Structure 1
Amino acid sequence: MAATAQSPTFEKSYTLFCLDDGQRTQYIVDQVAHSACPILIVGEAGTGKRNIAERIHDASSQAGRRFVVIDCATASASELQGALTSGGTIYLRSLAQLKPALQSVLLSPASGRRTPRLIASSRYPLADAVRVGGIGEDFFYSIAGITLQTVPLRHRRSEIVAIAEQMLAQAAIELAKPRPVLNEELKQLLLHYSWPGNLTELDSAMKACVLIGDQEFALGAIRASMNKHRTPKSGASLKEVSKVASMRAERELISQVLYATGGNRKQAAKELKISYKALLYKLKQIGREPVNGAANGDMS
């Protein structure tokens, strides 16, 4: 259901839709696609804001025209004016960073132009930018009449495994590799991880799983990320904290290098400037035993 949100400093209100699951997201995309109204998509990094904008464009009457991405942090007046003449859809990324002078360009009458559809995104609620004067109130209401709120992946636990399966299937097609079947241990890890990078981080993990063909690698990489985001227990000694931090850094670096070398352990050892035997020992320390057939270091 739509909710009406209102800042105490504003006289008007805007309609907010929460995209809290895949089915609801698709329904709302279908509904708003056929309207010419500007749309604001708000949510954390990696929650799929651009993907939603592209889906709205593809389902709209503008589908045959251009989808133009404007980075508001670096946009110029000429770039905006050029985009406004092309019709199609303009996707304004990081709208809170758009300079006030450029906001007026978007508000100017589009005389003699093909009017493009405006879809904007922001990591943060724009009402805060309005209060401090970064975003004009007129501009805010012209762009945020329909606001879509994406939901962090950590609040979509019931969908995580299904989303991961879809990403695995897509990655297998893109990389022309066999599609792995998620084992129960990896499924449980997916469910219990907080996913600070949201969909983008999950997609990277699934692509790595397909690329290397080793679920143990995916498990190790996710565990490394989990440990990186944990806070040391209070009362721990400096020596203990240093040791934990060192192990985390080693685990993360090894996982990154293995990913970069496609799982080739011998090449990874060269990149890390350690012996192959030392790498195998460290892999055992961090819970990544060599899999059968990978003793020579080549997992591709």
Structure 2
Amino acid sequence: MTSTKENILIVDDNYDMLALLQRHLKNFNYHTYKASSVHEALEVLKFTPIDLLITDLNMPEINGIELLRYAEEHYPTMPKLVISGMPSIDNAVNAIKSGALDYLTKPFTSSELYNAIQTSLEKTRNIVKTTPSDIIASEHNYAGIVGKSEQFKKLVELINRVKNNKVNVLIEGESGTGKELIAKAIHSKGNRHKMPFISVNCGGIPESLMESELFGYIKGAFTGANESRLGLFQAAAGGTIFLDEIGTAPVSVQTRLLRVLQEKEITRIGAVHSEKLDVRIISATNSNLYQMVLNGTFREDLYYRINVVNIKTTPLRERREDILPLVENFLQKYGNEYGKPDIKIDTKVLEILLRYNWPGNIRELENIIQRMIIMSDERITIENIPDELKYHIPDPNTIFKSLKEYEKDHILKILAAVDNNKSKAAKILQIDRKTLNQKIS
């Protein structure tokens, strides 16, 4: 059984099933991408050309039918194959209506899987695919990172230097500066781009679950471990794992991460034997990790392990040359998404966008552009600009003045209140008229 190395995305919330499917597909000589949820699958589809989608139906939060419907509208030429452990006529009908070309019931044989894949691919094998980088053609776009500043050019140069190395990378910078996008660019432009990219938000996983999520566990390792499960590190095998907000990782997890980096192997919770691991680790933080090391809240040895190559992102307020290319990019992206592909923007609006300081960085700019497109018709005008971006007269109460200036303001207010009657003003101010005249003059 051979193939022409098509890219196949498999989606299932059961890690053991993902591993089984990956083994089959590897034997068939396909490139495989794995996702354990619909959200993960959408991230893969966004940045990777996929030739075939294989998805389970019953998954938590968002099910496979929803994924099929999304893929049918956004990737209409991509064939879709459904596998399900809970077969029913309704499920099969819904799957076919949602765009699936075939429906496999678990358990299935290797031959059944291969034949279903071949049948699905055959219908679209001769269609020319559009890669993600072709969607937005721009000389200022590098793997989804947009800009034209010197900082942008230096960032691209640095990514090109590390993309084909397994070196550990630490990306530091403020929230909203595109740290995850940089990590994805390193992965997608490098020689591991055919392998998985797994993004982990360390701050979003409860501390009690973090070790089991990252490193996996075996059946019976703890109460509730009714079956063995692979961790996110194993899911990223051969590819890249992105540890976002690494500074939030508890000390126990830091210790295990250090062992992974040192020994190039991983031990599932409850397991006796370790497993060799080939994975590139990219970490990111908006905290000052070095200061955390000095404070004793982050392991010094781990810090130097993950920080072999350091990439510091530049806040948007310090690279204003990138604002206009970013605006153009977001106008095209969300103009198409919201049914306004020819939307224009007034020069005055651009001036305000260039003037604003962008404390939320690129993420804030993206949100603002989305909002303005929604709130406008064919043209974005100054009326569509959110109030917080417009110029504001400073609050007098926030302006610091000298005591003499405060005294002058107070005397003028009293004189105005008494219709410039100096005798009344002097009485209210509790000074004599001669002193008041001196102050006025």
Q: Compute the TM-score of the two structures, normalised by the length of structure 2.
A: 0.46
- Residues 69 and 91, structure 1, Cα contact 8 Å, conserved in 2: yes
Q: Deviations over 1:67-120 (max 9, x none)?
A: 212222225111111122231211111111111110121122233433211111
- Cα distance, 1:172–1:142 mapped onto 2, change above 3 Å: same
1:126 to partner: Cα distance: 0.8
Q: In structure 1, which of residues 94, 101, 110 is the aligned counterpart of residue 264 of structure 2?
A: 110
- Residues 34 and 60, structure 1, Cα contact 8 Å, conserved in 2: yes
- Residues 334 and 370, structure 2, Cα contact 8 Å, conserved in 1: yes
Q: Distance in 2 between matches of 1:190 and 1:206?
A: 10
In the TM superposition, what are the counterparts of 1:153-232 in structure 2 within 5 Å? 153-214=316-377, 219-220=382-383, 222-226=385-389, 232=395
Q: In structure 2, which of residues 171, 176, 180 is the aligned counterpart of residue 50 of structure 1?
A: 180
Q: Distance in 2 between matches of 1:200 and 1:218?
A: 21
1:137 to partner: Cα distance: 0.7
Aligned-pair RMSD on alpha carbons? 2.5
Q: Distance in 1 between matches of 2:242 and 2:191?
A: 16
In the TM superposition, what are the counterparts of 1:85-124 in structure 2 within 5 Å? 85-86=234-235, 87=237, 88-108=239-259, 109-111=263-265, 112-124=275-287
Q: In structure 2, which of residues 167, 174, 177 is the aligned counterpart of residue 37 of structure 1?
A: 167
1:209 to partner: Cα distance: 2.9
Query: How many matched pairs?
Result: 218
- Residues 95 and 120, structure 1, Cα contact 8 Å, conserved in 2: yes
Q: Deviations over 1:178-218 (max 9, x none)?
A: 23222210111011101111101111122223333348866
Q: Higher relative contact order by CA 8 Å / sep ≥ 6: 1 or 2?
A: 1
> One-letter code of the match for 2:280?
R
Q: Distance in 1 between matches of 2:359 and 2:286?
A: 13
Tell me which residue corresponds to 2:193. 63
1:32 to partner: Cα distance: 1.3
- Cα distance, 1:195–1:215 mapped onto 2, change above 3 Å: farther
Tell me which residue corresponds to 2:213. 79
Larger Rg: 2
Q: Deviations over 1:49-75 (max 9, x none)?
A: 111111111112221222212222225
1:27 to partner: Cα distance: 1.9
- Cα distance, 1:79–1:231 mapped onto 2, change above 3 Å: farther
- Cα distance, 1:220–1:137 mapped onto 2, change above 3 Å: farther
> One-letter code of the match for 2:190?
S
Q: Distance in 2 between matches of 1:103 and 1:43?
A: 21
Matched residue SS, 1:92? strand
Identical-residue share of aligned pairs (%): 27
> One-letter code of the match for 2:202?
C
- Residues 129 and 135, structure 1, Cα contact 8 Å, conserved in 2: yes
Matched residue SS, 2:276? coil
